[in-house]
Chains A and B, each alone.
Chain A
Amino acid sequence: MIHLIKNAINEGLLNIRRKLGSFLITLLMVSLSFMVFDIFLIISWNLGTALKNEQENVGIEVFLRDNITEVEAVNLADIISGMEGVRSVYYVSPEEAEAVFRADLPEQADLLTLLGPQFHLPASIQISLQPDYRTSDKVGGLARTVSGMDGVEDIVYGKEYLPGLTRAVDILAKLVILAGLVLAVSLSLVVANTVRLAVTRRALAVQIMSIVGAPGWFVRVPFLGEGLLTGVAGAAGSLLLTVAVSWMLSSSVPHEFLPVKWVMLVLILGASSGAAGSWIGMKSGIPKPRS
């Protein structure tokens, strides 16, 4: 059995060596089309990371009426902290707000002095949200509820950019899946075609092997291996090319390369569409043996 498996693999390698030139060209073709996908993935990965960072910052800032007492404010904060989607709340007193203002904007600090001691910044409650609440729909809902509460003067949250960003990432995720599907289908077809050609070219060998008693899998393994190798090596080649491009662009366009998980995903996509392709190619290529 070991010899049999070894022979099947050798047979496959021999087939590839016999047409190394055309195999390499196919590989380059696959790599280049995969590279487009890789770049797409990188863009999507980096935008996704950026959005996540933005979303981390998405919170609601609740400004309180001037006439509210500190006890009432803390009560309000307590109620809010019990609401769904709220991770934590933080009460900012007028004094703290002023300290923060002075620290953050030292050049404007004179402004406060100019306004005199009777002026003070409003107290506020900073709401930070559960991760799955950081979408425009849910933030909006929560904000409406809170703004209707007693003692609330005004509410600020990132409604200007949030819906746009969320939708952009949604669309991007869909596009990536679509591109992956298109790529998988086209790679399968390319491999199916080369395998079908290979089967036709090797029709005599296929027939003779089956006639001298080779098991079906022995005849199929070399073709399957060829498809699998085309897929995996093509995907790996595209990743190498993409690393090179990413490295060249890293100074002008700062970005991150794909995480290991996504790299594996690209390789698995290559392997599975290669295998599927060779299966399709064999299905239409290997004839019933007739003498």
Chain B
Amino acid sequence: MLTFQNVSRFYNDWPALENINFKVQRGEFLVVSGPSGAGKTTLFRHIWMGDLPSIGTVEVAGYRSDRIRKDDLPLLRRKLGIVFQDFRLLPERTVFDNVALPLQVAGTSPKAIRRRVFSLLAEMELNHRRSSYPHELSGGEQQRVAIARAMVAHPVILLADEPTGNLDPEVSRRVIDLLIEINRSGTAVILATHDPRQVPAGTARFLYLERGHLVNPGIWDGYRQL
């Protein structure tokens, strides 16, 4: 479902990613960790094809980076849910409208949007917050809204780039638990984090990035080397 094949990405001849190879299967949980500047965000950007590889190909949900047309990008992105460290909620929209956004830009009918958003907000215990604006929420609530927005269109892969980076440990745990729960219900989850120990052993597969390289792929389990 997701394949990186000999992917390198150069910025002015400087490699941010070099010869990356890995696959993610349907419903898998993958944790990508590594120090700051290792290339985690760059890797994610290649998944949603906000950037294309200099060498090699990325294939996501049937779309290949070397063949994708501009018009296909929205279609690819509707199959992905993306969560950022800094939430990136739209400040002038309510919680409801933020969560509804992916459906609104896909042309879903208002009635279907209402049904889906209400049930998702209820599921994520955000229903009482649906008319609030992002600045009225705590960081943890904001991140849960961002996760709801990422999940609202039933993505096949959820990308979470350091979603707990701005949250305290207690709230972080709730967010990680939420991701695990989402993964259990069948969505593949790819999580980038500085601290792979957040994710309990056995629930996920681990990759370690360092200066644009994957270190010992397939062997590294996120614990032994720390």
Measured CB to CB, the residues of A under 8 A from B are 1-4, 7, 18, 204-205, 207-216, 218, 288-291
CB distance from B91 to the nearest CB of A (A): 8
10 tightest A-B CB contacts, nearest first: A4-B107, A214-B105, A213-B78, A212-B102, A213-B77, A213-B74, A289-B50, A215-B74, A3-B107, A7-B104
Question: In the complex, how many residue pairs between chain A and chain B have their CB atoms under 8 Å apart?
Answer: 71
Q: Kindly list 13 other residue pairs between chains A and B, CB separation below 8 angstroms, not including A3-B109, A7-B104, A291-B50.
A: A3-B110, A7-B105, A204-B91, A207-B88, A212-B105, A213-B77, A213-B102, A213-B153, A215-B74, A215-B105, A216-B71, A290-B45, A290-B51
CB distance from A137 to the nearest CB of B (A): 57
Task: Report if A211-B107 is in contact (Cβ < 8 Å); known contacts: A204-B88, A291-B161.
Answer: no
Residues of A within 8 A of B123 (CB): none
Q: Is B44 among interface residues, defined by CB-CB distance under 8 A?
A: yes
The answer for the CA separation of A4 and B110 in the assembled complex, in Å, is: 10
Q: Using an 8 Å CB-CB cutoff, how does the interface string of B182-204 with A read, 1 for contact, 0 for none?
A: 00000000000000000000000
How big is the B interface, by class?
20 to 34
Q: Can you list 30 A-B contacts (CB < 8 A)?
A: A2-B107, A3-B104, A3-B108, A4-B105, A7-B107, A18-B92, A204-B88, A204-B90, A204-B91, A207-B88, A208-B88, A209-B101, A210-B77, A211-B48, A211-B82, A212-B78, A212-B82, A212-B101, A212-B102, A212-B153, A213-B77, A213-B102, A213-B105, A213-B106, A214-B74, A218-B105, A291-B41, A291-B45, A291-B50, A291-B82
The answer for the CA separation of A10 and B161 in the assembled complex, in Å, is: 31
Residues of B within 8 A of A215 (CB): 71, 74, 105
Residues of B within 8 A of A211 (CB): 48, 50, 77, 82
Q: Is B133 among interface residues, defined by CB-CB distance under 8 A?
A: no
Residues of A within 8 A of B219 (CB): none
Q: Is B75 among interface residues, defined by CB-CB distance under 8 A?
A: yes
The answer for the CA separation of A208 and B150 in the assembled complex, in Å, is: 11
CB distance from A206 to the nearest CB of B (A): 10
Residues of A within 8 A of B45 (CB): 290-291
Task: Report if A212-B84 is in contact (Cβ < 8 Å); known contacts: A3-B109, A4-B105, A290-B50.
Answer: no
Closest residue of chain A to B101, judged by CB? Answer: A212
The answer for the CA separation of A119 and B153 in the assembled complex, in Å, is: 105
CB distance from A25 to the nearest CB of B (A): 21
A216 contacts B107, C-beta separation under 8 Å: no
Residues of A within 8 A of B92 (CB): 18
